[in-house]
Every structure is written in structure tokens, then in C-alpha cells.
Structure 1
Amino acid sequence: MLRIFPVLLVWLLSLLSSYAVQKFTIKDSRTLTGHIRYVVAKQAYIVGENGVTYKVALKDLDPQSLVYVNGWIRSKGGDDNYASWIDTSGRGFSASWPRTVYAPTRIDIQAKYQEFKKGHYVYESTHYRFVSDAKLEPKVVQRFAVLFETTYEYVMELPLNASGRYLEKEEKFKIYLFGNYRNYVRAGGSPGSAGVYLPRTQMVMVPLEMLGLEDRGGEWVYVKDVSNKVLAHELQHQLTGGTRFPAWYIEGSAEYVASTRYTHGAYHVVNGKTRMFDYVRDKDGLADGSGRRLGGRIAMMPLEQFMDLNYQNFSRGRVHENYAVALMLTYFFYHEDGNGDAAGMKAYIKALQKGKVEKEARKHLLRGRTHAELQEQFRRFCSTGGIAVEFP
């Protein structure tokens, strides 16, 4: 389990918070300033100004606060048993699948000098707020911000209603940059990793060296292009966080974005099927050095059991195989199942975003099939890419 030092966490949360807020009054005269993220089982989950989420029973709110919460629930199309900040009206599912997604024509970087504190430096692009423990020239931040902003555009253009499209006013995604790799590990980054997403704080942490930067006598300069795979994977987690997805889709959807061919400032979705299978299979990996490199044969548990894995069991043991099968299964539901229009997946996501339990939502993926029938169709799909997935 990742952990971040309490002092660092408190400072980061206070510095990175930039939400539109509302004051809630609780019947014992306490007040809480923040914004609603969820209402579940007559409990409001309110994100405070410090970034911490507080759970408040609706019955404990004063009348004026309760009126506000009930109005918020109605505006989201939910009820007091379940509602979230995610709009499920259908607009986020209606676009066609993108073929090539380009970076914004202009990416401006603002250095927030007034927020420099104890050697930490703040920079903002359109959708991201970067906090660095090393001072960077804005032009350097602008160079790597292209990847972040292009990934944002890509995930938003996928017709899958990413939760990130429903940012509060003035809210930005939080990125913490480390010039000192040891500090990155101390804060919760896995040794040897190129980035990590922390769900509790919705923050991505990245070592500067993994962005192609090098410290030359106290000045960080851009020296090389590096593989975007890990960062794209973690950014997908951040951009779609909040929906209670199962482990296979959390990682399968992140691998889908990570395995899409990226050149500086563009995601190339065309010919994605060939690249996806190469990403899983080729023992030499892809040209950018990424890939699961599993060869042409993968032994797996039954598909139903795989789809039922909780995150702890998914992320241990045969991790590479689990990630690879999750990627292929995600691709199958996006592009191959039914009419190839992701209709089942869109209905599945919408059901989860409206608070349905996963077993109920999965009926949209099964479409009347048994898990055994789905497993056989998926196995045949994998075989078309030269990969034999062996189920018991």
C-alpha cells in the first residue's frame, strides 16, 4: 500500500486545493466548507478545502444546507441513495471514436510565484497544476505539459463519459514533481517506477528524470524524449477516478491509453488493434521500449473469476498476465463486441456511474450471454492477434 508522509500530505492538499466551495452547516453548529462528491445511502461525501473527504448524514444537516444538497441531487439525476458529480445524461457517450487526437494549439504555463513556499514551485497549464520541489523554467514545464494536456484531450474525446470532464470551476488535476528521486520514494512512489497515482488525494506523483529532464548544476533542462507509457497509464487513472470500476477495467482502460501510439503532441488511435496485440505479445517490446512481452500463449483463470477479482488479488501474482488480459478484454468491449460501437461498454459505465452494483451493471456486457459464452468469444478474438489465452 502506498503511503505519503503526513506533513507532506497536509502541505500538498492545502496547496493543491482550488475548488468551488459551498458552506454546509451541521445541526451541532459545526460548519464545513467544500463541495459534494457523492451522496450514498443518505450520506453526503463532502471534499473539504484541505482536500480531505468528510461523510455527513443528510439528517444531520441544517434545513438550508439540506435544501442545497437535495437540489444538487436532483440536478445530477440521482436520489438520496446515490448521486455523484458525474453527469450521466448521455452527452459524454455520444461522440464518435477518435482516430487521431492532437495537443491544444497553444499551451500556456503560468508560474505561481506568490505560492512558492519552502523550495516548492507551482505552475499551471489549462487543466493541470504542477508542484515541483525543484525550480523549473516555464519553457521546460511547457515542454512536458504537452503530454499531460494531450492525454487529457485524448481521454475526454473517448466517448466513455470520463469523470474528469466534470471538474468543478477553477479545479485542476494535481501533479507533484520530484527532482530528488529518494523523496519521490519516501512520499509513496514505488522504487524504479516512473510515476504513481494516489486515489485518496487524486494526485499523480512523477520524478522529473522520468519526464526526460536532467539536473545540470541546479538547472533542469530537457534532454530527451522518454516513453509516455507509465505516465499515460497513471493520468488515465486520474482522469477517470471516482467511478467504482472493477480492477480489470481500471487497469485495462489505463493500458488501452498507454498502449496507444503517441508522438509528441498526438495520440494515433488508428491501427490500434495491431499495436495492442504487439504490446501484449512481442518479446522484444515496442519501439518505445514498452510492452508486456508475454509471447503467444497465456494461461488464465476462468473469465468470470478474472472479472470478479478485487484489486488486491488482481495486482499480485501473475500481474503481467492480468494487465495484458485486462487490456485485450477492454479492447474487445470497445471495438469488437456486438456491432463494434462499444454500446455494451457505454451502458455498463453509465450504470456504474448511476450507482448500480457491478454485478447488475455487468449484464450490459454479457448481453444475454453466459460467462462461458463470453469467454469463448473473447478467446477467439485473442487468437486473431496470435495470442492463445488458455482458460481452464
Structure 2
Amino acid sequence: MRCVLQLLVLLLSLCVEPGGAQAQAQKATEARTWTNSEGRTMQARLVRREAENLTFLLQNGQHATLTISQLSAVDQHFVRINFPTTVAAKWPDVVEVSNRALDVKAVEEDLAKRSYIYRSEFFQFTAQDKLAVSVMKEIARTFESAHALVSALPWSIDPSPPADLGFYQAKFYLNRRNYILDGGPENSGGVYFTGDRIFRIPFDSLGLEMRGKTWFKNDSYRNDTLVHEITHQMMHDFLPFLPMWIIEGSAEYTEMIPYNAGKFLAGAHQRGIKEYVRDFQENRGISFSDATNLAANMTVTHDQWNERSRVSSGGQARLYHASAILVYYFCHLDGDGTGTRFIDYMKSIGKARDAWAAFFKNPAVKRNADGNFSYPSTLPLPEQPRDETYGFSQLSILLNGRTPEQLEEDIREAYRKIGIR
């Protein structure tokens, strides 16, 4: 672990790009000369204050933290006047949905087309066979609860259904053959396609069983895969910008949150990560100690991820395992344990999402069904690239000046403190 002195020396050796911080006066957010308690000076821009901790953005894009007490008396006064303290983001404890969300209605039944459409508050479900509304209510509970969970997490997602579709879309297939014929991967229990924004899943992956001539839901069925894929659906607008480890690690995170009787026990996340690590050890032969070079996993590209997954299922499992360990660490173990850096990182991604959303709302921009788009050459694109390179460029927020070796040490030490080795 690095000491405060090392961090201070690093800060004093670098300068910072000028710019503004939200909700602060212009003069307060510009790069300025800061003096520490020992009389040493630096050029820096203060971008965040949380209680007594100050975050500076460095010229190379990295973020670093000092406490107010390390500054001179004059600069301490400047901070307290111009940067009122912010309240740490609130992580949810218990997440459940309202009865309104579970008011499921059958809106179409077409035996000839084998199309049965049901709606809950945010979702439209198209099934290949008729399902009792009581059964659909239990299925909808998982979907709506996952939506509520992602909404409650301080990740800046703020999920809402696609405006052109009105509802999140899900298709349920009578059997795996139909699922695969409509594009479902053979080795999957369910899949979300970003192209048409539809979540596809066969009946058996929903825990549906035919008893006589009626479909029933198996109450003992685990909904892990379901929650994982719904999380991708909720994060649709973030996906273009994110590295694969965050895309899959965030879905593994929601999947590991204990779920009981329609409630996500989000406050029991530590129990969730311990069970997750134990499950990988017992059922897949992958232990926590096998997750090495974690910082290197943070820069794995989409193509590299797909290649490693293609080569072996074990390689894919290791990628998911490492991603979950990373996301949980940054959410609950990094720094003061409040997930500040991960929250800031996701806010940065959220700004890119918002910039592109505004761009696509321009009537001059034409989007095709396949996701491609055209626009006048005179219309500037948003400054953030709409691909994973932007997500990679923001990783300095998470690294906070740490080398890969230092990050690895921090991660292992943090997990040791909660009994995971």
C-alpha cells in the first residue's frame, strides 16, 4: 500500500489540464497553484470533495486524492468556501418492486401465430405459448426487480425503456430449438441482443414446466442467468463505451446479490461475493488466487475477450471470474469502501452516453435498423468516441495513479480483510 507522502510527491511532480467542475464557480475550478502544509506548491485542478478527501485530475488523465489537512491553511479555507462537502453516494439495502409494476396484463393472444403478449410496468413479453397471468406475474417480478436494482445502484444508469419501443422487449421460446433458430447461442440459457434490443430466453431457462396441459413455474429455479442478461438490457446505452470487464463484471455483480421472495438484499453484497467465489472454487475449479494480473484484465479488448472465450470455456469462465472480482472491489473495497472512484468512472461514461443521445436526437442524424447512422459532414460528432476506447481512456479514474502491481496488492489486501484469499 502506498503512503500519503508518496502520493503527495506524485501530485507535486505533475500539472493538470484546466477545466470546470459541476456546480462550482469558474474561478474555483480553474487550474491554480496549491500549497501544502510544508510549503511545497503544485499546479492542479480540484474536481471533487467528499468529506475531508480531495480528488485532483492530473495532466495525464489520472486522478489522485489528498486530505484537506495536507494543504496550507489558506488553501484549506479556499476549499471549504468554494467546495462544500458532498454526501457519499447511497448504496441500496433492500430493493423490491411495487404492486403496480407487477400488474401484468395480457394484451394479445394469437394461437395461429403462437404469439401471446403480456405487459408489466416496464416490460413487454412475447411468448410462444399461453401462460397464466399468475405465472407471468412471477416471471415479471424478476424482470421488474432487476430493473429496480439497476435503477437503485449509484452507477448513473437511470434505465428507461427505448422510446421507440415503449417497453423493454423479451421473447420466450417454447423450446431450445426455437430459441436457437431465432439466434440464441447453443451454449446459453438466455441472451440479450443489442441490435434489436430484445432479450431472448427459452421456457426452461425461465423455470417453466409443463404439468398436464398447463405451464407452471418451478419455485426452486435460480434466476441468476436471467438477472445477468437483464442487467445488460438495462445498461444498453452504456455498453458501447465500456470495457468488457465492466460489461460482464457488473452483470455478475447484480447476479450475485442475494435474492429472496422478490427482494434483492443489496446490503448483503458481501455475502454474495463470498458465495460467488466459493461457487467458482467448488463447481468450476477456479479459486480466488487464480485471478492474477487483474489490472491486465481491465484493458482486454472486445476482440481479445471473444478470442479467449472461443478458445476454451475455461478461459471464458476465468474472464467472468476476474471481472466480478474487479467490479466488486471497486464498488465496495477500494479506498474508503464507498465506491467513489467507480461511481465517478460511471458518471464519466454517463456523460458520453448523454452526449451521443443528444446527437442522435438531431433530426439531421439518420439511424438504420442495424445500428449504423449517417449525418451531415458539417455536424460535429460528440468528443467522446462511441466505443470501448473511451472507457479505456477513463480507467485512470479507477487506477488513481496506482501501477498494476500496486493495484493488485491493494485488491488482495482488501479481499483478505473480508476473509477471501
TM superposition score normalised by structure 1: 0.68
Q: Compare CA radii of gyration and give the structure with the larger one.
A: 2
Contact 2:297–2:322 (8 Å) recurs in 1: no
- Change in Cα spacing, 1:352 to 1:292, as seen in structure 2 (3 Å) is farther
- Code of the residue aligned with 1:242 in structure 2: it is D
Contact 1:214–1:220 (8 Å) recurs in 2: yes
* Residue identity (%): 29
- Residue 254 of structure 1 and its aligned partner are, at CA, apart by 0.3
- Residue 284 of structure 1 and its aligned partner are, at CA, apart by 7.4
**Residue 157 in 1 paired to residue 157 in 2?**
no
Contact 1:233–1:258 (8 Å) recurs in 2: yes
- Residue 372 of structure 1 and its aligned partner are, at CA, apart by 2.5
**Structure 2 equivalent of residue 362 of structure 1:** 395
**Residue 371 in 1 paired to residue 375 in 2?**
no
- Among 315, 320, 323, the residue aligned to 1:323: 320
Contact 1:348–1:361 (8 Å) recurs in 2: yes
Q: What pairs with 1:7-86 in structure 2 (closer than 5 Å)?
A: none
**Structure 1 equivalent of residue 342 of structure 2:** 345
- Among 281, 289, 294, the residue aligned to 2:286: 294
**Structure 2 equivalent of residue 13 of structure 1:** none
- Residue 387 of structure 1 and its aligned partner are, at CA, apart by 4.8
Aligned length: 290
- Change in Cα spacing, 1:282 to 1:218, as seen in structure 2 (3 Å) is closer
- Code of the residue aligned with 2:234 in structure 1: it is L
Distance 1:353 1:151 in 2: 20
- Change in Cα spacing, 1:269 to 1:143, as seen in structure 2 (3 Å) is same
- Code of the residue aligned with 2:297 in structure 1: it is F
**Secondary structure, aligned partner of 1:112:** strand
- Change in Cα spacing, 1:175 to 1:283, as seen in structure 2 (3 Å) is closer
**Structure 2 equivalent of residue 129 of structure 1:** 124
Distance 1:222 1:331 in 2: 31
Contact 1:125–1:145 (8 Å) recurs in 2: yes
Contact 1:280–1:293 (8 Å) recurs in 2: no
Q: What pairs with 1:188-227 in structure 2 (closer than 5 Å)?
A: 188-227=183-222
- Among 241, 244, 247, the residue aligned to 1:247: 244
- Residue 146 of structure 1 and its aligned partner are, at CA, apart by 0.8
Give the gaps of 5 or more residues in structure 1.
1-92, 286-290
- Residue 255 of structure 1 and its aligned partner are, at CA, apart by 0.4
**Residue 97 in 1 paired to residue 88 in 2?**
no
Distance 1:149 1:261 in 2: 16
Most deviating of 229-238 and 183-192: 183-192
**Structure 2 equivalent of residue 306 of structure 1:** 297
- Residue 202 of structure 1 and its aligned partner are, at CA, apart by 1.7
Contact 1:146–1:264 (8 Å) recurs in 2: no
Distance 1:189 1:254 in 2: 19
**Structure 1 equivalent of residue 415 of structure 2:** 382
- Residue 206 of structure 1 and its aligned partner are, at CA, apart by 1.2
**Secondary structure, aligned partner of 1:226:** coil
CA RMSD in angstroms, aligned pairs only = 2.5
**Structure 1 equivalent of residue 254 of structure 2:** 257
User: Cα deviation per residue 1:117-158 (whole Å; 9 max; x = unaligned)?
Assistant: 612111110010101111212222112111111111111000
Distance 1:144 1:359 in 2: 36
User: Cα deviation per residue 1:210-256 (whole Å; 9 max; x = unaligned)?
Assistant: 22211234432224331111000000010011221100000110000
- Code of the residue aligned with 1:353 in structure 2: it is G
- Change in Cα spacing, 1:148 to 1:293, as seen in structure 2 (3 Å) is farther
- Code of the residue aligned with 1:307 in structure 2: it is M
TM superposition score normalised by structure 2: 0.63
Contact 1:155–1:162 (8 Å) recurs in 2: yes
- Change in Cα spacing, 1:363 to 1:205, as seen in structure 2 (3 Å) is same
Distance 1:99 1:292 in 2: 30
Contact 2:252–2:324 (8 Å) recurs in 1: yes
Distance 1:333 1:352 in 2: 16
**Structure 2 equivalent of residue 89 of structure 1:** none
Contact 1:279–1:292 (8 Å) recurs in 2: no
Contact 2:161–2:168 (8 Å) recurs in 1: no
**Secondary structure, aligned partner of 1:121:** strand
Distance 1:284 1:247 in 2: 23
Distance 2:142 2:206 in 1: 10
- Among 168, 175, 183, the residue aligned to 2:178: 183
Contact 1:298–1:387 (8 Å) recurs in 2: no
- Change in Cα spacing, 1:320 to 1:383, as seen in structure 2 (3 Å) is farther
